[in-house]
Structure 1
Amino acid sequence: MLKVENIRFGYVPSVDIFRDVTFTIEGGEYIAIGGRNGCGKTTITRLLVGLEKASEGRMYYNGTDITSMPPSKRGQFIGYVFQQPDRQMFRPTVATEVAFGPESLGRSKSEVKQIVDEVLERTGIAHLRDAYPPTLRRGEKQRVAIASALAMQSKILILDEPTSGQDGKETKELLALLRQLNQEGITILLITHDMEIMASECSRALIMGNQTVAFDGNPEELFKKSTDELQDLGLTKPPSVELSLAVPSLGYCKSMDELKSKLVAQLSGK
């Protein structure tokens, strides 16, 4: 469990980006973090991993105060995938990059090899073990970063806008991997502007706005709000939700697949 209490932060001392931010993340949740540009979505996650320091408030992991814990220590339970994942890579091959974490923890060579082999297979990039990370596609680099987090046995995985700039195939493959990891018990935090992903993949939406947490609940509750309320938060209704709510008696649909399925059932009289 990760708990944030009354966090306050601003890059300029006299100007807060947000204040009084409080929320709790339970193990195994799949959370979308959203809001308009500049509201503090990425900043709040950088605070979680220790890349920024709050001016007020405390953070706890499983009851332990981690407010002053350095990023290197938090990396043992929180993994972070940057929006540009190549910026967090510095070793000559995928395998040695993924090995860095367990090596730094003092694992033996045989243990490191076993860990690396396992996580490369788990993330579907075993065939890239000898590749030079900067030459990989963005989706492959993300998988290297995810594998590096898994090699540290991270229980929480944060991804910053992971689907931006990717084609449909890469997006589907990444979402399938995240779904699988979440089913295995890993907590996923997804910073995203993609309303369809927020609705279809996530069980909880945490929306930043008005210098604090403006909404914290399930996506269905969020997207049933009025268009004006959503626009105030820099959000829109996903097409599947917009269309499903426009069809009498169809009900809320979190994805286009669910919408098609319900329409077929309704037309066939089932």
Structure 2
Amino acid sequence: MLEAKEVNFAYRRGLPVLNDIACTIGDGEFVALLGHNGSGKTTLSRLFMALLHPRSGQVLVDGEDIVNYEPADLADKIGYVFQNPDLQILEDTVFDEVAYGPKAKKLTAETIKKQVEAALAATGLAELAGAYPRLLSFGQKRRLGVASALALNPRTLILDEITNGQDAIEKERMMQYLQRLNEEKGITIVLISHDMDVVRRYAKRAIVLKDGDLVYDGTPTELFGGAYAVEEWGLRRPTAAALAGSLGFTAATPEEFCRLLVRKGAED
């Protein structure tokens, strides 16, 4: 479980980035963390990973204040996949890249081999175990980042813009994989994203930040249902909601859009 209790943060002596943030992400949730560029969402995710520490307030993981923790202390609890996958590549083969974390934890060779092979198989990279990581496609590098996080068997994955730069097929494959991790293994997913169609389809909860303030915490369906001016928060409505709005009605999902469009056609 991840908790922020009245968290405030600013970089050095600059303007505040987070203002009295209070939220809890429970075990097994699939949460989208949303907001315009500079809203504070990546900063909040880094506080959860102990990459940063709050100026005031508390950040807790499984009920423990992590103010004195380093990222390595949380590596077997929380996996963090950066927006730029090249930032995480350190080794010369895919296998060694995924094994980096388990080796740093001084696990046995047998355990390392078992966990790395399981992570590679789960992300569809088993056949590329001997490949040079920097020559992988962008989508494969994304999956490599997830595999590296999974090799430590974390209970939570924080994913920063994981679908950026992927084509439709790679995006679908990645999101369905994350959905299976969440539903079948109970892994908590925290997805930072600007892709509202992905958020609407996969996330069960959305947390929205605007200029460092938490302005919404609820379901994506309610968020995009028409009651909120999400554009003022720097969000783009999902395709179905945007099309419905242009035709004079509201719809949060493609199914609802089609149903209302048929009804509207019959009435006309």
- For the criterion TM > 0.5, the same-fold answer is yes
Within a 5 Å distance, the mapping from 1:19-58 to structure 2 comes to 19-58=19-58
- Superimposed CA distance per residue, residues 11-66 of structure 1 (whole angstroms, 9 cap, x where no aligned partner): 14252012100100001111111111111111111111111221111111121221
Aligned residue number for residue 191 of structure 1: 192
Aligned residue number for residue 64 of structure 2: 64
Q: Distance in 1 between the 2:257 and 2:140 partners?
A: 31
Q: What displacement does 1:137 show?
A: 1.0
Aligned residue number for residue 105 of structure 1: 105
Q: Distance in 2 between the 1:123 and 1:216 partners?
A: 30
- Superimposed CA distance per residue, residues 81-130 of structure 1 (whole angstroms, 9 cap, x where no aligned partner): 11111111101111111111112222111111111111111111101100
CA RMSD of aligned residues (A): 2.3
1:82 aligns with 2:108: no
Q: What displacement does 1:259 show?
A: 4.8
Aligned residue number for residue 135 of structure 2: 135
Q: Distance in 2 between the 1:47 and 1:235 partners?
A: 23
The code of the aligned residue for 1:26 comes to G
Percent of matched pairs sharing the same residue: 36
Within a 5 Å distance, the mapping from 1:223-262 to structure 2 comes to 223-226=224-227, 229-243=229-243, 252-254=251-253, 256=254, 258-259=255-256, 262=259
Contact 2:244/2:257 (8 A) holds in 1: no
Task: Quickly say closer, same or farther: Cα 1:198–1:119, change in 2 above 3 A.
Answer: same
Aligned residue number for residue 116 of structure 1: 116
Contact 1:220/1:252 (8 A) holds in 2: no
Q: Distance in 2 between the 1:171 and 1:62 partners?
A: 31
Contact 1:244/1:259 (8 A) holds in 2: no
The code of the aligned residue for 1:221 comes to E
Task: Quickly say closer, same or farther: Cα 1:50–1:107, change in 2 above 3 A.
Answer: same
- Superimposed CA distance per residue, residues 166-195 of structure 1 (whole angstroms, 9 cap, x where no aligned partner): 211111111111111111211111111111
Aligned residue number for residue 18 of structure 2: 18
Q: Which runs of 5+ in 2 are unaligned?
A: none
TM-score by length of 2: 0.90
Which secondary structure does the structure 1 equivalent of 2:91 belong to?
Answer: coil
Contact 2:35/2:208 (8 A) holds in 1: yes
Contact 2:38/2:211 (8 A) holds in 1: no
1:220 aligns with 2:201: no
1:91 aligns with 2:83: no
Q: Distance in 2 between the 1:56 and 1:260 partners?
A: 45
TM-score by length of 1: 0.90
Task: Quickly say closer, same or farther: Cα 1:120–1:247, change in 2 above 3 A.
Answer: same
Query: Runs of at least 4 residues of structure 1 off by over 6 A?
Result: 245-248, 263-267
The code of the aligned residue for 1:78 comes to I
Equivalent residues, number: 264
